[in-house]
A and B are shown apart, each in its own frame.
Chain A
Amino acid sequence: MTIDKTETTHFGYKTVNIEEKESMVAGVFHSVAKQYDVMNDLMSFGVHRLWKRFTIDASGVRPGNKVLDLAGGTGDLTAKFSKIVGQSGQVILADINSSMLQVGRDKLRDLGIVGNVDYVQANAQALPFEDNSFDVVTIAFGLRNVTDKDEALRSIYRVLKPGGRLLVLEFSKPDSELLNKAYDFYSFNILPKMGDFVAQDGESYQYLAESIRMHPDQETLKSMMETAGFEHATYHNLTGGIVALHKGYKF
């Protein structure tokens, strides 16, 4: 969807070659990995924890399920999924970025979460798993960084078991114009400064704001999921549409 005929794609507001985007996104996440959790709490005023809880509650995950937490970063979702699926289940925390994966692995081990969690460095566009492997796949705040989102959705569809579901938690388009303006002001004026001050990395947070604006809106993402084969695709706006949770099934 984001790829045009000249084999370019978006990196925030910049247009870059497809081959470049992956390494540029990797650069951003290598840079922010260590401050990722602190910045998430600061930027969202802690509300990201409620968005993630909403995703877990909507996932319908049960004991014994096999879950793929794609672009799982520092493992917030994996930590809770691990407790719900229990020792008879399995959670795979996958991320394309080795630094994020390392931070996630260290954090979960420090929390004593071991036994039913595995760590895999994987590209969402070419998942290294067998067909029909997972009951649930989640991708939280990761899809907008993927170069070819359609290919990633097809790849996720392939690894889901029949009856399995995908949950995409991602920044989206606020449903009120007033909120949109306030959100724009916050994203482009305050967020990069916050990133500069706390993580000494304003550029990465400028990219974050731009990448959110370039990400497909609610309806577009829903139709992309349907095109990839997902059925009963729905979405639920959170915090006025700043974030949306999309859900689709493979039957």
Chain B
Amino acid sequence: MPKQALTAALEIIINKALSLDPDSQANLEAINGRSLTVNLREFDFPLTFIAEQKSMLVVANNTSEDCVLTTSLSTLGKLRQSSLITSLIKSGELDIEGDPKIAQQFARLGEQLSIDWEQQLAHRIGDVGAYKVHQLALSIGKKLQFAKQQISQDASEFLLHEQPMLVASHQQHDFTLAVTLLEQQTQELDARLTNLIEQADQISR
């Protein structure tokens, strides 16, 4: 029953997150009674999200009559940008049956979720403890961000200069120019050869 374990875990996580953000109630009420089915290509079963007044139900069944999305996990992230939706449908990465507005309303519920972690923590360990933990988390977050940038930069330099496994943008540009030049020269040669063949034909007659 891995499907059921997944839907149960998703339901617990979603409902916990919704309960921690009082502002999510308005968005949830806007889709009360509506449902969204997502067919992910990586999974062999659909996931249906059914919105209730105060909670969300998740089932592994194709039940939605409002909106059905068929897509992949990698495309799911791109759906945030509504400008990309048309091109995703054209390229076959996304298929929508039903009302796309319903899908957008469900997405908005997730995007606009804003949980005040410091306040939530303060309920459990007090204001001072929560403030210190929050500051520590921010500091660790900044350090991790810096480390990520540093590692990315060092890796680029290593791959480009120390062990030239990647090409730099100017190298790629030079290569493209050389290919274009070669293409032109080949076309010129082709034209000259055609001309010579025609002349040889006339002489032989």
**A contact set with B: CB distance below 8 Å:** 49-51, 53-54, 56-57, 59-63, 80, 83-84, 86-87, 112, 238-239
Contact = CB atoms under 8 A, between A and B. Distances in A.
Contacts of A87: 33
Nearest to A46: B8
B4 A63 contact: no
Nearest to A80: B57
Contact of B59 (A49, A51, A56, A63): A56
Nearest to A84: B63
Given A57-B7, A112-B54, 14 more contacts: A50-B1, A50-B8, A53-B59, A56-B59, A57-B3, A57-B4, A60-B61, A80-B59, A84-B50, A84-B57, A84-B63, A86-B33, A238-B1, A239-B1
A83 to B, nearest CB: 5
Interface in B174-200: none
A112 B59 contact: no
B4 A53 contact: yes
B31 to A, nearest CB: 13
A50 B5 contact: yes
Contacts of B35: 63
B20 interface: no
B75 interface: no
A88 B1 CA distance: 30
Nearest to B5: A50
Contacts of A50: 1, 4-5, 8
A112 B53 contact: yes
20 contacts: A50-B5, A50-B8, A51-B1, A53-B1, A53-B7, A54-B4, A56-B59, A56-B61, A57-B7, A57-B59, A62-B63, A62-B65, A80-B57, A84-B50, A84-B57, A84-B59, A84-B61, A86-B33, A87-B33, A112-B54
Given A84-B59, A84-B63, A53 B8 contact: yes
A51 B4 CA distance: 8
A83 B57 contact: yes
Contacts of B79: none
A86 B65 CA distance: 11
B121 interface: no
A50 B2 CA distance: 9
A238 B4 CA distance: 12
**Which of A54, A60, A63 is most buried by chain B, counting CB atoms within 10 A of its CB?**
A63
Nearest to B65: A63
A133 to B, nearest CB: 21
Nearest to B52: A83
A53 B57 CA distance: 11
B194 to A, nearest CB: 69
A57 B60 CA distance: 6
A50 B50 CA distance: 18
A84 to B, nearest CB: 6
A237 to B, nearest CB: 11
A122 to B, nearest CB: 26
Given A53-B7, A56-B61, A83 B50 contact: yes
Nearest to B57: A83
Interface in B1-39: 1, 3-5, 7-8, 33, 35
Contacts of B63: 61-63, 84
